[in-house]
Structure 1
Amino acid sequence: MKRYVCLTILLVLTGNFIFGQEGKKKRGDKNYTKFAYIKASELYQKLVEKGYESRDLYGKLADTYYFNARYREALPHYEKMLAYAGEVRPVYYYRYAQCLKSEGKYTEAEEALEEFYTLIGQPGGPEESLSDHIAEIESFSGRYDIADAGINTEYADFGAAFAGDSTVIFATARDTGIFVRRTHVWNKRPFLKLYSATINDEGNLEAPVKVEGKVNKKYHQSTPAVTRDGRTMYFTRNNFLKGKYRKAQNGTNHLKIYRATYRDGKWENIEDLSINNDEYSTAHPALSPDGKQLYFVSDRHGTRGNSDLFVADIRADGSFGPVQNLGDEINTAGRETFPFVSSSGELYFASDGHPGLGGLDIFTVRKDALGGNQVVNVGKPVNSAADDFAYIINEENKSGFFSSNRGQDSGFDNIYALLEKEPIALAAELCGHVRDSLTKEPLPGTQLTLYDENGRELKTLQTDSSGDFCLEVALRKNYNLRAEKAEYQIHEEFITGLKNGEKRELLIELNREDIVVTTGDDLTEKLGLKPIYFDFDGYRIREVSKIELGKVIEVMQQYPGISIDVRSHTDSRGSDSYNLQLSERRAKATVDYIVNTGEISRNRINGKGYGETQLVNECSNDVPCTAEQHQLNRRSEFVIIKM
């Protein structure tokens, strides 16, 4: 794109053409086609320097800096623009906020963004309404068959994990007689044990038996994760090892993840891990498909909410790399817990911070079309108004298990079998057409750049030969779409979040930056002038029109070869002869203003009144029209008669 550097008019001359005809040479006439290219953005700057002021003028000038990332220079012009009373396009508050943030004025930026979201119908920010969330969850619902897993008791049973192709290990309070109910990360009440069960041909569980070895102690054991070779298990337990029950400085016994090794039919060699700490809980392990990463839940320092999801690399020697928070796309101010990673690497987890049906809901993380993470509620019937969590699935046969306290008067958890009948379908498409704002011709090859709300570039593409484009986007996320083409002003559209299955169509019209004018053109159209309106039965130049006349004056001052014909018109009210005289006075008033204010030679500008002979609508004599319709006919035009 060209920078906004100077106001330019180029004269393009056609050369001398010599034509041959029947062996004779004949010199053709010299034909000079003259074009003027007027850089609109520099016109705004010159008008401001000369003391012209308006909301529209400051906004356009600010945009010329904003689109070139010159935020400091754009900021004062946006401030002046927004100081004017009246409505403005909401996107100007967004641009103003970005400029404020670039200067470290975060409080003011937040206020500007609040105003922006209010104007676009999202007061308080980009959060969707509850009905929008429910509608999206419904779009993902109905994809599963579920049933009781077959091994539930009147006590707590939950948290199944695969331990081979036909076995799961789960937590249960069945052999204690002690009622236990899961609350946050863990409830710190004793006597949950690990059991194994066999997966039968119907996908249900049977033959539960207590896990052998040193895993089950007198305190809580839960939520295992077993490596593919079946030799290593990570599991959750109260902070208790080798007979020692440890507490934090405040007296709390937190949870830890331990590692066990399978030998001779028993789980032995229980190890504490470096990711644990006596001062916070670490729980609910899950392994990546290659076994080289351990996902888990913790309320350690840096947690966004009550509990967050974390990950750490497992080194070849069994030690751990640095612990990393999974970030704001996944973790919320609520609870994220019970992670599971499928064989294809898809993360599932439970949360009450993301929009759900009530309590904990199960979510999955999918890559969207732009490479970002899309958190998706898996829908009904897996999710319900109760707590739903601890989802696992075998992607080969699409069967698995999850836990829930639905339908239980006691509130205790049960394990349910699931069968996925169809995958999640994410579909949101942004399409559109780009054309010239004046000629309405399509603009092929226009560069489009999609940005997120923080200004990070996500994708670039170009319009096709018809000026059309289409791209897939993530659900519920807001974007900025910027259109750029040589010789046109940059245009930006703020895109509010799309719903699942939505295809949104845009029409983008670009204004020329270097405006091509020639003899016979009307500068009102070419410069995008607002009409020079007059009061009813009057010929006084309105204050609002002086800025528009200033644009004409600036062009004539910079390019002394241009001569203009001012054509003034009236509406149909009044007699034809009176209106003709009135339009003559209006033409003279317009010419006098340009000559006197701009010091333009009078021989470069003519004026003529046309009365009501060239109406722009149907409002002729005796036709009822509104005041606004009549005003459209009270106008002046500026036609180039010489270049």
Structure 2
Amino acid sequence: MKLKNHLIFSIFLAISCIASGQSGIQSKADNLFNNFDFVNATTLYKELISKNYNTDYVTRQVADSYAFMRNPDSAVVYYKKVVIQPNVPTIYFYKYAQALRGVKDYKESRIWFKNFKNAGGEIKEETYLKDDEFLNAIFNAKQNYFLKEVKFNSKYSDFAAFEHNNDLYFVSARDEGVSTKNRYSWNEEPFLDIYVTNKSSNTDNISHKSKIKGAVNTTFHEGPLTISKDGQTMYFSRNDFNNQVLDKNTQGVTNLKIYKASLEDGKWTNIVELPFNSNSYSISHPALNKDGSKLYFTSDMPGGYGGTDLYYVDVYKNGTYSAPQNLGNNINTSKNECFPFLNNENALFFASDGHPGLGLLDIFAAVTNKNNAVISILNLGIPVNSNKDDFSFFMTEDGLSGYFASNRDGGIGSDDIYAFSRIPTLKLEGTITDAVTKNPIANAVTTLFDANNKTIANAETDLNGHYSINIDLNTDYSLKTTKQNYLDNTTVITSKGMAANTTSLKANIVLNPVPLEDIPITELVPIYFDFNKYDLRRDSTVELDRIVDLMINSYPNMAIKIESHTDSRGPTTYNEILSEERAKATYDYLIKKGVNPDRILGYKGFGERKLTNNCDGTITCTEEQHQLNRRTQFIVIKMK
């Protein structure tokens, strides 16, 4: 992605002034670099390299120039030389790792992410430690998005497609057919304008005549945009350009601001700058929620978590706005989050190079619970994401189609718009209840199997006994439901013959309780393990001796199952093995102490699949909270 880089504006502040006294060529190159003219700066820097002048510094500048131009293929060549320089700043380890992802060298990328971490850099370990599992899941996931041809891309940058009332708006640098073309020095392309075309018309030959009517477009950058549901109000990004004057901050940088326009007689007019803009930092990428009560945007304002963060303001009916609110560190990272979009269900989509992805910018969705709290960040996977920049996601109201942009290989221009169709998620859901009391059963485990009895997914019921699992259309399944002190239930499920736009399949389950004698179940308390160990601690053997006494002396017919678990740290596959070792160590101890093996009906490790709290790696947890997950539990199966 090239031209849109003016929108990832946090990098502006990272470009430092170069001390005087350098050669004339380097001074000229640095001046071009500081003014974002990376194309011409790179030419001069390479000339200095050929003359072996100040090579370490100049090589870093070339590498950064290619990175800013979103050209990882060239950036990785120069960063490889940079990271072996003596006393190189450790941030270049991170930059090299990112560039390596841009050329799909994920193995080498993990090495340099780890080098950055070991050198004191701030980065979440899951960014590289679980990369194999992440990539395997992405590349082997069932495809839900299918790309369709877009005929109106140009040889320049096109992105930020937005549909409203059968009109398609988008941002483009295709300033063709006019006598004077202003060029953006960053990459020598024309400045961005907002265009519109009717979806039903021929979109093969969109020209400068398709620019939106009114006073929105200027001689500098405009876009992206969002439009209110009634079609009367537009919010859009623009360079800080007012009254024919282009303003700059104290560092000489022109920031981005959000403006509002009204539709009158087919033209966008009454251009107003929003009051929470600033001359000191940028605000861009406007996006409205479903009812227009909140406006989301991207900013590098002070107090954020990284380069650019996502924020929102409340939009009041009297035309005023609340103070900007940061969306928090579940969404924002130490890198860049940008291009927010909210679909018809108010689900948030955005682009980021801070969450684990396939390359540079990837597109993500924020997964929320019933209280609208973000519980996980979902990478949309391929073909939406690639090893290059993928951004400016849009989805239609029915959720079945939309657009995004990418600078991936094979496109027509520097950035291209891609259309997609989507298979909607079919949700299997229902309520688990007690056959006797008719009350909902919390924490029952539902396991979905395919026709070959292979496990597909697991889910636990909430406090209301509700469960939900995503399934495919035209497929047969079986659903097994288990709960301590209840008989297992297996139900046949099929989605065959259902309409393609169906989103939900109901399956309520009734469990029959197992009649057990009264027993002090509270005495069968869990035992706990140290981190990354499966040997029994002293406090664990004390509890195990109590269980031995109960089974031999107090309840001679009691039979149990052993279930062992880990915390979420470490690779998933390793945690499965570790939990199995913990289960076996527990089993071996009970047998050694005299419990008949026939009375232990199984011992199994569940890895990190059944955490007792929310410490799944998405939030910061104390050691005490992690300890609660490193446990072995004892399930009473029968008493008689």
Interval of TM-score (by shorter of Structure 1 and Structure 2): 0.3 to 0.5
**Which of 1 and 2 has greater Rg?**
1
TM-score, reference length from structure 1: 0.48
TM-score, reference length from structure 2: 0.48
